Structure 1
Amino acid sequence: MDSVIRLKDLTQAWFVKNLKGDPWLWSVAVFLLVGGVPVVYSASVMEAYLEHNGDTEYLLYKQIQSAGMAFLVMYFVHLIPYTKFVIFSRLGVWLSIILLFLTFFKGINVNDASRWVEIPFINRRFQPSELAKVALIAHLALVLARRFKKGWNTLESLIEPIFMIGLVCALIYRSNISTSALLGATCFMMMYVGKVPIKYLFFTFCVFIFFSGVLVVLKLGQRGGTAEKRIEQFFNSEKVEYQASHAFIAMARGGLTGEGVAKSRQRRYLPHSNSDFVFAIIVEEYGTLGAIFVICAFLLLLYRGLKAIEKPKRPYGGLLSAGLTFSIVFQAFATMAVTVGLFPVTGQTLPFISKGGTSMLFTGLAMGIILSVSRGELEEKTI
């Protein structure tokens, strides 16, 4: 008994010493990362069997690797004082713009969309839009924090953030309309939290609506036809989209307590069951109760991530944490809304859970920055 108590004390001491920041945020991140592994494994059995010579555990090891790498990124990033990210914010935005242009001309085309570039020498795919999301949010937080201290006196002070947001979202729009829309909504919420005057917010909203309309009318997006078809199917009550119909069947089978771990049947028929529609598998195997746990985890992340706004001495940290929190939570609830039929099919993954190396790593990066902000009080004298 004494050895068990001593082991418990040593474990607690290790966590207190090494895992700094908000313990609730750590709990949410670890719960979602660890809990996502058996879900993705179950949803990937058929895909792994068909595409990897019967090796049903291939994607299990890939998911464990992705979750482990995300945790390591999150851990090492949270040790860095968040004020250090000021140095890389503008550089990160311009680097992501260059990579998005590179994707435009030489990107790898999958499902009629060029979203990936291949990293030389290691032959791994990389999705520049994931970098662009984190970099743009970090840079916008810096711009808004500086204006937060000086005040919003003229409309000209909004030119730089509007230009940056518009350029990045337009480049992402070409291959991923839903990601562009979610990033735009995140930036708009950051501007609202950053106390941009209502008249300037209204002007910004009108500008983005106008240019979004231009992009739609000119059909400049690679996935414009697909998006239009999905929206038509969404509003057509007589014909349910194939993926959505099987997602509904999976959730209906789940009931209150679910079919049990790795007992999903719809994983055989539901396309992208380990990525875009993984929430349907969660409901089928773990029931409504399991889904509520996942929803509550993201709501807790939203609540704790926004706590940093209450610190008046660090507007940059508050806006940075709020922006990245909005980004993760908006994507999560958009994915869940699509699964239950509230939104048209978008192709968004569920953060921390869905299969996807690039998405998992940058979610870990974003969470590491949020944890860095939560570590303690810093007076931002140099920002």
Structure 2
Amino acid sequence: MWWWTVDRWMLGVTALLIAIGVALSFASSPAAAMRMNIGDPFHFAVRQCVFGAGAAVILLSVSMLDVRNVRRAAFFIWLAAIAVMIALPLFGHNAKGATRWLEIGGFTLQPSEFMKPALVILVAWMFAEGQKGEGVPGVSIAFGLYGISIALLLIQPDVGQSVLITVAFGAAFWMAGVPISWVMLLGGVAVAGLSSTYFLFPHVAARVHKFVSPDSADTHQVDRAAEAIRAGGLLGRGPGEGVMKRHVPDLHTDFIYSVGAEEYGLVFSLLLISLFALLVARGLYRAMKLSDPFEQVAAAGLFVLVGQQAFINVAVNLNLIPTKGMTLPFISYGGSSMLAMGLTLGMALALTRRRPGAYTPGEGLSNSAPFA
């Protein structure tokens, strides 16, 4: 029975994160609706409730799949997402200088959000097939899938998602047991590629300039977010009592962390970070205990994806890194982000479910070098 095989700790933490996201959407929705001249003050909160329910349904449904069907689902999701991303330059919705969304009725779909977990599953699958030594060019196929995904992301352009996927891909590459020299080579290429975006994309250079020289650039977003976080103090102003949040751009999406910090304080902020840390640490621990190479790498890669995205969002809110439009998983407003996170955790829970022979006590990820 599914209930006795799924990790209930991770399921509970995820449910709590979704609930926190809905609660914070009620705190941020009135101010966001006012800034955007939307008559209904709870427009975003109501939609977030719908997205949260949808994410829960996806998460529970996908977590019931067996390993073979997780791979199949990832393959078709990746193909569909790539097809939509190819069509974006022609039919996509442009916002803030980027074409990342497909508008369907009143809903804007961001296909790259769904492509991320599917890509992690597929590259883990290819690495595992390459380990078997049966003539399948798994590594070459994995790099091909990664290259196609990154190329389409940079066309949009979406450098942040490219960095996110590159780190997750590198983590899967390392966890698959490849020689350290290959990992270092990939790291060098990734650093060179990231550095080149500074010269290729003006918005990247502008954000770096703002971060490095805040006195000579417009830092309105991060300044208002910092004021909101400071205003919260230790225990916060109280539910719905935030004042500084009204001046924070994108307070319901990229800067939702500052809203929570102002209304519930430092204690809540640390609790929220601890929930993400617990989810990722527990997930990586379960992944390390898996006996199948594919399941190990795929599950670990998915948890790295979630943890890294949460880290980037919080770091931006705290002005530790340059600004990037990255949502806080399950917390920020956004249908694509919420539903895709439900898919990501659903796949991770499916891979880490207890099955006969799935776990090998005392063994972690493979440290061999099967591709040498």
TM-score by length of 1: 0.86
Of 362-371 and 201-210, the range deviating more from structure 2: 201-210
> How far off is 1:264 after superposition?
1.1
Does residue 77 in structure 1 map to residue 62 in structure 2? yes
Q: Distance in 2 between matches of 1:176 and 1:21?
A: 34
Specify the code of the residue in structure 2 equivalent to 1:71.
A
Kept after mapping to 2: 8 A contact 1:162/1:204: no
Q: Distance in 2 between matches of 1:49 and 1:316?
A: 48
Does residue 159 in structure 1 map to residue 137 in structure 2? no
CA RMSD of aligned residues (A): 2.4
Q: Distance in 2 between matches of 1:307 and 1:130?
A: 25
Kept after mapping to 2: 8 A contact 1:308/1:373: no
Count matched residues: 356
Does residue 202 in structure 1 map to residue 184 in structure 2? yes
Structure 2 residue runs without a partner (length 5+): 359-372
Question: Please, which of 168, 182, 201 is the counterpart of residue 186 of structure 1?
Answer: 168
Q: Distance in 1 between matches of 2:70 and 2:41?
A: 41
Question: Please, which of 66, 86, 93 is the counterpart of residue 101 of structure 1?
Answer: 86
> How far off is 1:55 after superposition?
1.7
Q: Distance in 2 between matches of 1:18 and 1:311?
A: 20
1:178-257 matches, cutoff 5 A: 178-212=160-194, 216-217=198-199, 219=200, 224-239=201-216, 241-257=219-235
Corresponding residue for residue 14 of structure 2: 29
Corresponding residue for residue 169 of structure 1: 150
Q: Distance in 1 between matches of 2:179 and 2:76?
A: 28
Q: Cα–Cα, structure 1 residues 272 and 172, in superposed 2: closer, same or farther, change >3 Å?
A: same
> How far off is 1:210 after superposition?
4.5
Q: Distance in 2 between matches of 1:113 and 1:237?
A: 24
Structure 1 residue runs without a partner (length 5+): 1-15
The percent of aligned pairs where both chains have the same amino acid is: 26
> How far off is 1:50 after superposition?
5.4
Corresponding residue for residue 130 of structure 1: 113
Q: Cα–Cα, structure 1 residues 316 and 60, in superposed 2: closer, same or farther, change >3 Å?
A: same
- Output one character per residue of 1:308-356: Cα deviation in whole Å (capped at 9) or x when no partner: 3333532222222111111111000100001111100001010001000
Does residue 358 in structure 1 map to residue 336 in structure 2? yes
Q: Distance in 2 between matches of 1:26 and 1:254?
A: 30
Q: Distance in 1 between matches of 2:16 and 2:74?
A: 29
Specify the code of the residue in structure 1 equivalent to 2:85.
L
Q: Distance in 2 between matches of 1:124 and 1:36?
A: 19
> How far off is 1:18 after superposition?
4.6
Does residue 87 in structure 1 map to residue 68 in structure 2? no
Q: Cα–Cα, structure 1 residues 48 and 206, in superposed 2: closer, same or farther, change >3 Å?
A: same
Of 273-282 and 308-317, the range deviating more from structure 2: 308-317
Specify the code of the residue in structure 1 equivalent to 2:115.
A
Corresponding residue for residue 366 of structure 2: none
For 1:114, what is the secondary structure of its paired residue? strand
TM-score by length of 2: 0.89
Kept after mapping to 1: 8 A contact 2:309/2:328: yes
Q: Distance in 2 between matches of 1:214 and 1:163?
A: 21
Of 109-118 and 201-210, the range deviating more from structure 2: 201-210
Q: Cα–Cα, structure 1 residues 314 and 166, in superposed 2: closer, same or farther, change >3 Å?
A: same
> How far off is 1:295 after superposition?
0.6
